[in-house]
Amino acid sequence: MCGIVGYIGAREAAPILFEGLSRLEYRGYDSAGLAVFDGSATHTLRSVGKLDNLRQRLAERPLKGHVGIGHTRWATHGRPSEVNAHPHAAGPITVVHNGIVENHLALRAGLEARGHVFKSETDTEIFSHLIREKASEGRALPEAVRVALNEVRGSYALLVFSADEPDLLVAAKNASPMVLGLGEGEMFLASDVPALIAQTREVLFLHEEELVVVRREGYTLMDFDGQPIQRASKRITWTPAQAEKGGYRHFMLKEIYEQPRAIADTLSGRVSLERGEVRLEDVHLSAAEAARINRVVMCACGTAWHAALVGRRLIEAATRIPVEVDVASELRYRDPIIDEGTLFIAVSQSGETADTLAALREARARGARVLSVCNVIESSIARESHDVLYTHAGPEIGVASTKAFTTQLVALQLIALHLGRLRGALSDEAAGEILAELTHLPTLIEALLAVDEHVQGVARRAMHARDFLYLGRGPQFPIALEGALKLKEISYIHAEGYAAGEMKHGPIALIDEEMPVVVICLKDDQYDKTLSNLQEVRARDGRVIALATEGDTEIAALCDEVIYLPPVSETLAPCAAVIPLQLLAYHIADFKGTDVDQPRNLAKSVTVE
């Protein structure tokens, strides 16, 4: 996610802003910038790449003044570049923003029709022109911001400064975090506590749809209707290191809890429930091109490969095109059958995995149309694809992939629906039903996270096992693979995912009272058969940990542990089932004291074959 900082006080703003941005570096970014008002004009510096480049610019051209804003950008709309870096300005108005403006295309068209000239490709620049327009109609900055926000749809943390009213800053929050730091005769704003913890520990977190007007000596908090809000500030007791994790013990746990927001951001601006339509801004496949696809080949590594396995079912169900999935390191060495009739889908969080990139190049060389699902804008895999669908999960710091995985599942569902509609293989009604369920997913996952406390107990009781077996059927087989991968890569306990129906063809020889067997046994169309597999484990004194559907009391008598999930449709079931498995792996590793965020021998992006 992007980083935001703001300062107003008696000290020089630039050093304070820069230090704040440097404390947000862990969030991942690809460009940065500052804007400072020197008493007569606003001066802005922006740079691509690491903060050292901005430091260099500042050394060459110091910014003087006592009020300013700053930003580290993690690109979602528009490539990483100086022109797209924040802050963005229109006349006296300068803004920095974190989040996604869903209706930015419509707003931009209207503003351009009214004579506004845009300089960047970003959705953020909308705010500067819109607020300038409202201010030019005679409104003070706070009211101009408030009125402008009524026209904006999406998720944002926004910080605004005007050279015409240099004694204040205005910040607004809707879904993306914004925090106010209270000092003595000075105030600080930031998208996250680490950026201001060196300056003050007295903070006020903005809630949804709130706006705050900040002056040196104080602040006024209000809602988006302009109604004042009274709320006491809080004292932060975190250490700076804890603060980077938002108070969570590890980035991995933070990212597990970020999944509702990450999924909402990945869906944002891409779903039209009324028309049962999907809008994929960087996928330019025409209906004619979609009609010519006779095979889909999906390719990835690790967790992304598990996502592709789930995606296969989704795409085949929506399009009736045969789909093949392979790990990247195998695909390109088997003289794959790929040609002009093939749609090649590469899935990669980092967009830099060498095996996946090499397989993509092979597919392109054989004439395939290449569509990639990536979480990093302008990454190598994204750049070398004909089309790309970005997951908006924000930077994933923990090596073990969590929010990237669930947003990949959502992205692949969107691709399946888009292809099905393009090919006329999916009715409006069927697409509409699936989309309606998808938009419910963030709420479902939010509720599911409540299982965390129970899972901690299960983890405590299972943490000393030497081996685990994970079993799942149908769409839950890839989730069994993913649950096993999560456990082994962060706890160093051997774990194996298996198709439940395959257990009796070998792994059943492993069953004994020492080995926990995690069985995903939700109330779906394969429940009875999976329950039989569970009973086969039980009959051999295996330790059964079941993922079950709330209300299924029968299964409890057959297990040592049950983790209940709310009833969920087949569409959402894989996304739901993986949450407790992420938490189980996390807590076992945390109890064992391994380096959860940086497990031994592992890299976040494997850029070698």
Site residues, ligand AGP (CB under 6 A): 301-304, 348-350, 353, 356, 399-401, 489, 605-606
Residue 63, both tokens = 């910014």
Inter-residue contact 179 to 191 (CB < 8 Å): yes
Angle between the N-to-C axes of helices 573-592 and 403-422, in degrees from 0 to 180, rounded to the nearest 10: 160
The Cα 485–Cα 468 span in angstroms is 11
Of the two residues 128 and 303, which places its CB atom closer to ligand AGP in the complex?
303
DSSP per-residue letters across 143-173: HHHHHHHTT--EEEEEEEEETTSTT-EEEEE
The residue with its CB nearest to ligand AGP is 302
Alpha helices by DSSP H, 320-451: 328-331, 354-365, 380-383, 403-422, 428-448
The Cα 84–Cα 274 span in angstroms is 32
Cross-strand pairs, 210: 173, 223
Alpha carbon 325 to its chain centroid, in Å, reads: 24
- Residue from 50, 523, 529, 604 carrying the catalytic annotation: 604
If residue 216 lies in a helix (H) or strand (E), which one and from where to where? none
Cross-strand pairs, 215: 218
The Cα 603–Cα 609 span in angstroms is 13
The Cα 529–Cα 500 span in angstroms is 9
Query: Is 374 in the active site?
Result: no
Cross-strand pairs, 70: 5, 34
> Backbone dihedral region of 440: left (phi > 0), alpha (psi from -120 to 50 degrees) or beta?
alpha
Minimum gap (Å) between residue 334 Cβ and ligand AGP: 20
- Residue from 2, 301, 559, 575 carrying the catalytic annotation: 2
Query: Is 604 in the active site?
Result: yes
The Cα 71–Cα 75 span in angstroms is 12
Of the two residues 444 and 484, which places its CB atom closer to ligand AGP in the complex?
484
Of the two residues 357 and 417, which places its CB atom closer to ligand AGP in the complex?
357
The Cα 566–Cα 579 span in angstroms is 12
Minimum gap (Å) between residue 264 Cβ and ligand AGP: 21
Q: Which residues of 173-197 are buried (b: 16+ CB within 10 A; e: fewer)?
A: bbbbbbbbbbbeebbbbbbbbbbbb
Minimum gap (Å) between residue 26 Cβ and ligand AGP: 17
The Cα 579–Cα 402 span in angstroms is 9
What residues are annotated to the active site? 2, 604
